[in-house]
Amino acid sequence: MSRPTAARELLRAAAARLAAAGVASPETDAAVLLAHVLGTERSRLFLVEDVAPSAQETYDGLLDRRAAREPLQHLTGVTWFRHVELQVGPGVFVPRPETELLAGWAIARAEEVVAEQGGCVVVDLCTGSGAVAKAVADEVPGARVHAVELDSAAHAWAERNLAGTEVDLRLGDMGTAFDDLAGTVDIVVCNPPYIPLDAWESVATEARDHDPHLALFSGDDGLDAMRVLETRAAWLLRPGGVVGAEHADLQGESAPAVFAGAGRWRDVRDHPDLAGRARFLTARLAR
């Protein structure tokens, strides 16, 4: 008959197993999965002495899937984005921590607009799981947030995550969405697909094999969606309104150039992430 195993021993073995499989953060992932199995928080695992055989079996199954590079968030079914919890799984892009910087920019701008005029209209294009839209709605109660997603499977996840909020979620194309808001929007925010088609091999296994390709790839140079965004943001924004968009770290010049070259934007600038890599651009529609 199987016996309980010490939690520390189980974690050490699990981390070694994930490291051997090429998982980028084996210790963290091993701990997150064990906490998930035990129904506790990762920070409270130190209180766990032994793990029962039944829990070990469940844990082992999840480790098999993580070692095969299934995303950690698919295994737990949830992820955190700033201060909100999101449900995620197959069919939706798992939001990355880097995107919290773009959301933070949108939130700060929305707070400024609310302070100035008592309200704010924010549009989140390519909303995916609804992460940015939900974060803005959560942190800026005075903002009216609208979001759109093209992929029906991802839209279904966004519906779950935005249920109970006042976010106006729609199923549609970023290039034609929100005609009814033309010229009235204060902030457009977008995390578009931006990976060049020929960069397939460089994409992490978790993303390449499990994230929707519609959310990843965007033409030969990775900027097809950025060009659509430039045109649509100009249509949606009021004069002086602002747009923010994430891009690949190698697009720190080419992505802002899409806006700078259009001749209708000012204050076009790029912003680094916490590691100093080019991460997102912002621009203001000329008056």
What's the farthest any 2 CA atoms get from each other in the chain?
Answer: 75
192 is in an annotated binding site: yes
Is 149 annotated as belonging to a binding site? yes
Give rounded-to-5 percent helix, strand, coil for the chain.
45, 20, 30
- Residue 193 known to bind ligand: yes
> CA-CA distance, 176 to 148, in Å (whole number)?
10
Look at residues 101, 98, 92, 97 and name the one whose alpha carbon lies nearest to residue 127: 92
Is residue 53 a known part of a binding site?
no
Query: If we measure between CA atoms, which residue out of 183, 157, 186 comes closest to residue 171?
Result: 157
End-to-end CA distance of the chain: 75
Q: What is the full DSSP assignment across 87-104?
A: E--TTSPPPPTTHHHHHH
Q: Provide CB contacts within 8 A for 175, sequence distance 6+.
A: 228, 231, 232
State the sign of the Cα–Cα–Cα–Cα dihedral 225, 227, 232, 237: positive
Q: Is 161 annotated as a binding residue?
A: no
Cα(225)–Cα(232) distance, integer angstroms: 10
User: How far, in Å, are 174, 223, 227, 237, 268 from residue 260 at the CA level?
Assistant: 21, 14, 11, 16, 6
In the chain, the amino acid numbered 81 is F
Give the residue ranges of the annotated binding site: 149, 191-194
Give the residue ranges of the annotated binding site for substrate: 191-194
Give the residue ranges of the annotated binding site for S-adenosyl-L-methionine: 149, 191
